Each structure stands twice: as structure tokens, then as C-alpha cells.
A = this chain, B = another copy of it.
């Protein structure tokens, strides 16, 4: 994470983008931008009973939503914040439960071509740093 993101893009700009670009329902995840560098963004997903089922298990739907959101921001670190894009595909594997704790959601651009961007997302529990969810994505640039 040594390279600089696109001009004008920093954690504060991405935090603002979370408010400007995403649906209110997604904003209610309360994602916070923790780190950003060229091609990589880490968000924090705070534990919230509203996202949980019995036993404090964070629902998979919230993890997928956080993954997709983080990837959009990771692409912005490469292409800047003026490039319209759309999710083509998001494939998610749920490795183990996440319960009663925050998670870090790290999205990374694998390859940015002319019309398609490939990326991967790793969601780890803050307590032990172990992966609970992994996703791979393809985005189309419009």
C-alpha cells in the first residue's frame, strides 16, 4: 500500500462518497473508511444488532453489501471519482460466522482494463483477523 490513490481521492473523500452515492439502506451499515491506497480500501463494518440474527450473528446480506460497497471505493482509488460504473457480478463465499464484533472489509483491484475491472474482497473479524467472507467481483465501466 505504498502507491498514492488517484488525485483528490483520500479516506475523507471516500467517506463523503459513502454518503453521496449509496442508497440510504446501504448507508445504514455505518461503514467507515479506515485506510485507502491505490487499488485498495479497507472499511470497518461496526457490529450492530440491526444487522444480526439470533446469537449476534452478522447476517450474510450485510457482508455482501459491505463487500460490494468497498469495491466501488477501491475502484475510485484507481480511476477517480468521476467514472460511472456498475457491478456485473459478485460472488461471495461465507467461510465462517461473524458474531458480536466489528469486521474489516478490504477490497482490492486485481486488474482494471478499459471496460472491465476485476477485484477481490476479504472480510475479517476484528478480534482474530481471520477471514469470515471472501468475494470476487467484476465491474463494468460505463
Interface set of A (CB-CB < 8 Å, partner B): 21-26, 28-29, 48-54, 59-62, 64-65, 68-69, 86-97, 110-111, 113, 115-116, 118, 120, 131, 134, 136, 138, 140
Contact = CB atoms under 8 A, between A and B. Distances in A.
Contacts of A52: 23
Chain A interface SS verdict (over half): mixed
Given A21-B54, A25-B48, A61-B65, 6 more contacts: A25-B61, A87-B94, A89-B94, A90-B92, A91-B136, A115-B115
Given A92-B90, A134-B120, A140-B116, A64 B64 contact: yes
Contact of A23 (B50, B113, B136): B50
B69 A61 contact: yes
A95 B115 contact: no
B89 A59 contact: no
B138 A138 contact: yes
8 contacts: A23-B61, A25-B61, A64-B68, A88-B88, A89-B93, A115-B115, A136-B136, A138-B138
A93 B60 contact: no
Nearest to A115: B115
